[in-house]
Structure 1
């Protein structure tokens, strides 16, 4: 696949335009080294495919890390963005727009089955990190000095700004920036007894991901979320669910906590969203469910220049419309189940986790980086989220035939990875 030089890359090459190597060198001279060297320089996308500056095509099975829900250059999203920017691209939040209001109303419809409770409200931001920052401010406003503690889980990832980073467990992310905002305690993942022991009337909030993406696609065990809801209610704390990666149809339902074996009918106090919400256009949301959470922040206590802008709001509405109209939630559930079953049969894959099209393939050894590199060379983009685990979060429009090309290529990539790992050692 990657050997085929096609699309814009071929045209750029024919005109003598810079390829991957030249662009990467320019990147090194202009962009902060927060991500390391880019693996490729991408110039175009269509559906689930992208092309690099050398004209090679790749099946994008990461989707911008669960962002490109409709793939690349989806006609409905392109039309919505083009129409909106030609009409009204930005206004300050001294004003509102029909797109902003309509999106907030739509989110209140889909975040809870049957619609959000009366009095629920939405704050629109620009990213998942910003959404979690807003949710943390809700927790602090709710708790005040009498409730200084916030509980999160080992393996949690909630973002990289200072407040969101305080909620993120990985030491390598946290330690260079300590001291972080205080009061956050990390509990063992999925351990109900530890949660029960930690809860008290001095807890302001419990932050949970129904499915931890960065930790290797780990779903909360059945019953955990229900117990967390009961405990937070009993102690007067907020239950805040981070659905940034797992929301917007990715798991076969609008939200991962809608799945019976994860959420069991739980209604949280706050849900945070981003990633797939805008289909590639930056947007995030804090959805406060019920009057108590929705009224914690008043005028002047939170804000954003770009949050809820008409362009991003129109994009999000288009994404939601396509997911509904094309029944992509059911498609994600069905294709995800089939893909997980097929991956489980691949030699060298020891376990497969996930829901819908948020999937992790655990490998027989710590060769995920080598496997991802071999797959990239073969024309497939995946993420080595852990040393022994590959993460997939492809566009919801992915077809079974396209997924099958990846499954067919995986054994050779794993064999190549094993050889590379032996050479490395």
Structure 2
């Protein structure tokens, strides 16, 4: 690095180095949310920075389930795979398909999905799912169709997140404020509806409204466990069944977005293997990405029901790098790592993590207002009056400066997405750092209040 970049960078203080390294790029995130360090090495849950700090990383947006630097995954990626033209047949395609069919439906004895589609990002997987729904809409609202001539609407959940490309962004309520403020295509939208998660009555009312007002609900999208807008909230079987039944009855497509929840939520990739969902009717499409690619190589996958697979039409495309062997071998290595013990650890440590956060909330009253989680996708909502999460000098940044990699989520929450093999000792370490932070912020608040008085 010194021979390439010179010595100047290596004598800078950390803040100036961060700024200089990113000075040629547009960062999608606000300045206070950018990690305040330069990562130079990582292994498992640990990151080492250019200035000698060590952090326990729980902030990889759900991508780092296998930890940093998983040897077997990286070894698979390093092989000289033939990256030939789009959809060139490869043995990797069959190898991954067999593993997907073993994983998805393992709690019910058979894989309920008919076909798979491979793409790069999570957003792309939702995009093609919505494109297949669009193909269905053209047929069903076209001449002679069941909903001929009707205008269409999309249905999603309040606080949902489904990606940042155009159509997925339209149904991502958690990001709507920024889009509506800055984008012309998000002005005066009347083609999207949102209902609260697990509110069966509101869900029924949405479809009743469609019937009464004469519009067609093209699709409904939901995260089985929310990842951004309300991290850790899991859909109930009752709500899922209502959504599946209503979509079927109205000819709408049901899309399950498991991009963040896959493996992380309940130790299984698909909602069809969730506890209590083993006999549920399959969604039309389900998307997976972050857990499958280990945060190492771009890959997303869509599982298609027989109905959805029949709707795909050659000519509506997907993306350029679909089913390339390097991506597929990455996913193969990840799935080969999933053991019964790892699945159980995701569930058990998730329960333990929530319990210890709840105990911390009782230990320091008035700081943590809510704890929720499903598996290793969880969050702690903090009191915004004394513990703002996002901003310079706020809790998220403090945690990062004090050895805890974490990201924000929800309204004013710290979101935790640790590696799948996390131990009880690691959870205790996280709680210890968070306890120190809560005490520091609340003691500072108390001192300021006393001085004002």
Indicate whether the TM-score tops 0.5: yes
Tell me if the contact between 2:103 and 2:268 (Cα under 8 Å) persists in the aligned partners.
no
Q: Matched residue of 1:65: which SS? A: coil
Contact 2:162 2:171 in 1 (8 A): yes
CA contact (8 A) 1:372 1:383 kept: yes
Partner of residue 66 from structure 2, selected from 67, 70, 92: 70
Cα distance 1:414–1:26, how it changes in 2: closer, same or farther (>3 A)? same
From 292, 296, 312, the equivalent of 1:277 is 292
Residue 255 of structure 1: aligned partner: 270
Is the partner of 2:246 in helix, strand or coil?
helix
- C-alpha contact 2:65 2:419 (8 A) present in aligned 1: yes
Displacement of 1:42 in angstroms is 1.3
| 2:184 counterpart of 1:178 | yes
* Structure 1 position 355 matched with structure 2 position 381: no
Distance 1:190 1:59 in 2: 34
- The answer to whether the Cα contact below 8 Å between 2:269 and 2:288 also exists between their aligned partners in 1 is no
Aligned to 2:116, the other structure's residue is in SS state strand
Residue 205 (structure 1) aligned to one of 210, 219, 223: 219
Relative to structure 1, the CA distance from residue 323 to residue 420 in structure 2 (aligned partners, 3 Å threshold; closer, same or farther) is farther
> C-alpha separation between the residues in 2 aligned to 1:178 and 1:307?
31
Q: Give matches, 1:107-256, under 5 Å.
A: 107-112=100-105, 113-117=108-112, 120-144=114-138, 145=141, 146=147, 148-169=152-173, 170-175=175-180, 176-180=182-186, 183-199=191-207, 200=210, 202-217=216-231, 218-256=233-271
Match of residue 395 from structure 2: 371
Tell me if structure 1 keeps the 8 A contact 2:87–2:322: no
The Cα of 1:230 is off from its aligned counterpart by 1.4
Q: 1:297 aligns with which of 286, 302, 312?
A: 312
Residue 415 of structure 2: aligned partner = 391
Farther off after superposition, 264-273 or 173-182: 173-182
User: Which range moves more in the overlay, 357-366 or 205-214?
Assistant: 357-366
3-state DSSP of counterpart to 1:248: coil
Contact 1:225/1:266 (<8 A) preserved: no
Larger radius of gyration: 2
The yes-or-no answer on 1:96 pairing with 2:96 is: no
**Is the contact between residue 125 and residue 284 of structure 1 (CA under 8 Å) also seen in structure 2?**
yes
Secondary structure in 2 matching 1:211: coil
The Cα shift of 1:250 comes to 3.8
What is the aligned partner in structure 2 of residue 51 from structure 1? 48
- In 2: Cα distance, 1:117 partner to 1:125 partner: 20
Q: How does 1:298-313 map to 2 (within 5 A)?
A: 298-313=313-328
| Inter-partner Cα distance in structure 1 for 2:194 and 2:345 | 35
How many angstroms does 1:255 deviate by? 2.9
What's the C-alpha RMSD, in Å, of the aligned pairs?
Answer: 2.7
How has the CA–CA distance of structure 1 residues 65 and 57 changed in structure 2, closer, same or farther, with 3 Å as cutoff?
same
**Contact 1:225–1:262 (8 Å) recurs in 2:** no
Q: CA deviation at 1:397?
A: 1.9
Distance 1:129 1:195, change over 3 A: same
Query: 2:21 maps to which residue?
Result: 27
- Of the three residues 71, 76, 79, the one matched with 2:75 is 79
In the TM superposition, residue 419 of structure 1 has moved relative to its aligned partner by 5.0
Q: Any gaps of 5 or more consecutive residues in structure 1? A: 1-11
| 3-state SS, counterpart of residue 311 of structure 2 | coil
Deviation at 1:388, TM superposition (A): 3.0
Distance 1:262 1:349 in 2: 31
Consecutive unaligned residues of structure 2, counting only runs of 5 or more, are 1-5, 142-146
Deviates more, 1:126-135 or 1:138-147: 138-147
Give the 3 Å change call, closer, same or farther, for CA 419–338 of structure 1 in structure 2.
same
Q: Distance in 2 between matches of 1:300 and 1:198?
A: 33
* Cα distance change on mapping 1:387 and 1:241 into 2, 3 Å: closer
Change (3 A) 1:222 1:265: closer
| Number of residues of Structure 1 aligned to a counterpart in Structure 2 | 407
Q: Is contact 1:350–1:363 with CA below 8 Å preserved after alignment?
A: yes
Alpha-carbon spacing, 1:23–1:104, altered in 2? closer, same or farther (3 Å) = farther
Structure 1 window deviating more from structure 2 (192-201 vs 350-359): it is: 192-201
Aligned-pair distance for 1:193?
1.5
> 1:114 deviation in Å?
2.6
